[in-house]
A and B are shown apart, each in its own frame.
Chain A
Amino acid sequence: DQQVKQNSPSLSVQEGRISILNCDYTNSMFDYFLWYKKYPAEGPTFLISISSIKDKNEDGRFTVFLNKSAKHLSLHIVPSQPGDSAVYFCAAPLNTGNQFYFGTGTSLTVIP
């Protein structure tokens, strides 16, 4: 049973526009959430996180929004750049933060 879901396998966006990646979760016990970015032939790299006590966290061009009532989070990238083309995973930990569950990923293509 998938506890963290990313329902869009792929997304294409023009350079300079906003990219919005979405993630849904089912377990209300998650108390923080993370986004990872993955290039081919490399491991995922941590991008940004958000605690469940917040509804927004911003880091440069990247902003994560959390809607706890809807069990939904989203990652906004503004402006999108070709180097942002990668697979993005959302994740959340359980068991005192030690067992992480990942979504299936969204492949973002930023078109120059």
Chain B
Amino acid sequence: DAGITQSPRHKVTETGTPVTLRCHQTENHRYMYWYRQDPGHGLRLIHYSYGVKDTDKGEVSDGYSVSRSKTEDFLLTLESATSSQTSVYFCAIKRSREDSPLHFGNGTRLTVT
């Protein structure tokens, strides 16, 4: 257990509604990430953070925003959910050492109807 909690674990929402997913870590690591997993695409990076208030875009950032006001929390927001954002979302953390691996949470399954 890498000390990562994602909430909620499951969510169903309607098209056009805002949604926020939360990732909480107990390890005090600097780096945090949001990925989505889709069949045929593997894991794709949405956004990542390298410190409080320091974030950057990944490969598939359109339609998503993030915030990190505390070291332990990294929020992913879908401002206006679309059906194409139906996916499984994973949060990950990483130690600062350069060759450290990512450690993942157990995911949030989001369905946009």
What mask results when residues 90 to 112 of chain A are scored 1 for a CB within 8 Å of chain B, else 0?
01000011111111110000000
Closest to B44 in A: A102
Contact B102 A46, beta carbon cutoff 8 Å: yes
> Which of B42, B58, B94, B100 contacts A105, CB < 8 Å?
B42
Size of chain B's interface in residues, with CB distance under 8 A?
Answer: 27
B45 interface residue per 8 A CB criterion: yes
Q: Name the prevailing secondary structure of the A interface residues.
A: strand
- CB within 8 A of A102: which of B40, B43, B103, B107? B43
In the assembly, what is the distance between CA of A61 and CA of B21, in Å? 37
**How many residues from A make CB contacts under 8 Å with B?**
24
Partner of A98, one of B35, B40, B48, B104: B48
- Determine the main DSSP class of B at the interface with A: strand
Pick 15 A–B contacts, CB within 8 A, sort by A.
A6-B42, A36-B104, A42-B107, A43-B106, A45-B104, A46-B103, A89-B42, A96-B98, A98-B48, A98-B50, A99-B45, A99-B48, A101-B45, A102-B35, A102-B43
Since A43-B4, A43-B107, A102-B43 are in contact, a sample of 9 more A-B pairs with Cβ atoms closer than 8 Å, ordered by chain A residue number, is: A41-B107, A43-B90, A43-B92, A43-B106, A49-B99, A98-B94, A99-B45, A100-B102, A104-B41
